[in-house]
Chains A and B, each alone.
Chain A
């Protein structure tokens, strides 16, 4: 599989940059889905490997800002939120979402 890595160059305005990546989380929508990812922020080390995995899975980019979830380094616990467009990889038909698979600390659990 060829990974598409967008180049930041003079044409960067064309790099899916039409809307801000910083969408607001929407918890309401999640409740209607058949599965969900349960975050365990007490285990999270805020390394963002889940964001990297998500961005690769869904956009082919190495840019964590393209991920469908957000991890922020807060004290004492990190903050994990899922963006509106996250469907926990249901549409991909993946058994285990990439973010859950790549978390080195088991801070994301499929529930």
Chain B
């Protein structure tokens, strides 16, 4: 593990294997991130101050030919004030591991921007004056000119430099570590980019078994012909049609769940009108990423996208009904380096507030789908111009600043803007957003798929149990450092990942043990947030879900019943072994083997 002090570039290497058993409990990736953030930050740490840490952590499987390496970027989130992490695919996980590190920890801060160059024999902060002010992809292009096309880069754009609280970190032409404002943390440390220039071998305990398993897994993925071909062709974009059909597509700032213009931004519209190629991450036969052509101001650009979340939040949620405008909005978010999910929610909130007379948009028309309004707002957020300065604070703080009761239109949990599922007619998904450790994010659980198939409006125990299992299963992938899509989209059995882990590390585990480790990480990230004031009161979905019935569609008139939700939350805490205020009990922490760690730093 590499620790770099951003203030003077000094660094040291920590060999975590000297305390191997202590670290192995957390697997790697976001698990390592959780342990580091827990130990290095405290109750009063300012997320944008020098005491906060930015952890880039690749899990044990990242960099091996297991489909899709992921690198988790963890820190205290400036947007939510609590634990924040976001994972990014592409090639960064591979290159970080090839530099010889499982994690890079950046501490301290500096005034002028520099970029961090890491290779297997060099760690250096270098002058970034030539890339400051550049868009995140332009900065990557510059760095590639300098270091060749084989390096992986993590860059921030103008939004990061201007400390937009939902700024993201970009890798490989638009793979985004989008959520929780990791880009702002990187900017606060004065780091414009990280260049990962490694090409070394990775250690593997049992290469022969690993390779056999990987080959088998790859065949299984490809043999699942229908799912494989469909997902390779459209990636997550195909979720849009599904979301529309089951009435959970966020539309016009989550006021509705069905969008009349969905066809115009659907996967087939993208395919016919803007798609120019497909991409897969390292070692993944599924090519879920789409390359699109973007026309902006008469110039041609290319975008790594869109995907479902951006289609929903920048498309239907803003009333955009054509792919040409959608890809421009997505491209602008990528270029400025800000989370397209949060940006979509913030702009939607601004338009709704302006329509209700609570806000003026600096002379822009408060109209859904108005491209000038949307593009201009995105720009003013990135540069914190005019009203953008308020919106750049995220929807929770913006609502506090604007006042006038507009917080009921602010779609967030714990300060994190809600991602692409409307949940008034989905109690399970409401609970997923409410209890996700970073805020309203679908990464930990998208139980909406399960509840649509099995029991859409139910609030029973089984649903809560599935919810907890999903939270452990899905977040495990970010700890292992690989993509979850082969498992959840092309149905590669979960036991393969258990096998990959055992073969790579030489630590024989079974499914139960590895899920226990995932539970341990989930409890520790909860404790990071509890230490900073999170409790039951923060585990509720946005107010709109309880107050306004759905205006149309098969669930017309449905809204979430607060009592049922409370009942589900009680069950959730009970099943998790948490107190009724949502705090993990000592017994639970003891059972997970982290009581001592927690008590030391509480």
Contact = CB atoms under 8 A, between A and B. Distances in A.
Interface of A: 2-9, 12, 15, 17, 20-22, 42, 45-49, 52, 56, 61-66, 70, 72-79, 104-105
Interface in B56-111: 64-65, 90-91, 94, 98, 100
Interface string B289-333: 101010000000010100000000000000000000000000000
B173 interface: yes
A50 B200 CA distance: 18
Given A5-B207, A65-B98, A15 B173 contact: no
Interface in B148-185: 148-150, 172-173
B530 interface: no
B1 interface: no
A97 B49 CA distance: 53
Interface stretch (B273-281, B410-418, B538-546): B273-281
Contact of A45 (B120, B148, B208, B287): B287
A48 B98 CA distance: 15
B554 to A, nearest CB: 37
B283 interface: yes
A65 B95 CA distance: 10
B16 to A, nearest CB: 14
Nearest to A47: B280
B148 A22 contact: yes
B283 A63 contact: no
Nearest to B287: A45
Given A22-B150, A76-B277, A104-B285, A62 B199 contact: no
A17 B207 contact: no
Nearest to A77: B277
A47 B289 CA distance: 11
Contacts of A15: 200-201
A56 B94 CA distance: 17
Given A21-B199, A72-B150, A73-B90, 18 more contacts: A4-B207, A5-B203, A5-B204, A5-B207, A9-B203, A12-B120, A15-B201, A45-B287, A47-B284, A47-B287, A61-B201, A62-B201, A63-B199, A64-B94, A65-B199, A75-B304, A76-B277, A76-B291
B276 to A, nearest CB: 5
Contact of B208 (A3, A7, A47): A3
B277 to A, nearest CB: 6
Contacts of B595: none
B204 A62 contact: yes
Contact of A47 (B200, B202, B277, B282): B282
B222 interface: yes
Contacts of B278: 45, 105
A6 B200 CA distance: 9
Contact of A12 (B100, B204, B211): B100
Name the prevailing secondary structure of the B interface residues: loop
A6 B203 CA distance: 7
A2 B204 CA distance: 14
B201 A76 contact: no
Name the prevailing secondary structure of the A interface residues: loop
Interface of B: 64-65, 90-91, 94, 98, 100, 120, 148-150, 172-173, 199-204, 207-208, 210-211, 222, 276-285, 287, 289, 291, 293, 302, 304
A38 B600 CA distance: 61
A20 B147 CA distance: 13
Contacts of A20: 199
A49 B207 contact: no
A16 B287 CA distance: 32
Nearest to A46: B279
Nearest to A4: B207
5 contacts: A8-B200, A9-B203, A49-B65, A73-B173, A76-B302
A92 B199 CA distance: 25
Contacts of A76: 276-277, 291, 293, 302
A70 B285 CA distance: 17
B202 A63 contact: yes
B200 A62 contact: no
A8 B208 contact: no
Contact of A72 (B149, B210, B285, B287): B149
A104 B218 CA distance: 10
A21 B279 CA distance: 24
When A and B form their complex, which 5 residue pairs have the shortest distance between CB atoms, in order from nearest? Answer: A5-B207, A65-B199, A104-B285, A47-B280, A45-B287
A45 to B, nearest CB: 4
Contact of B199 (A22, A45, A73): A22
B282 to A, nearest CB: 5
Given A6-B201, A22-B199, A70 B287 contact: no
A48 to B, nearest CB: 5
A70 B150 contact: yes
A88 to B, nearest CB: 22
B287 A8 contact: no
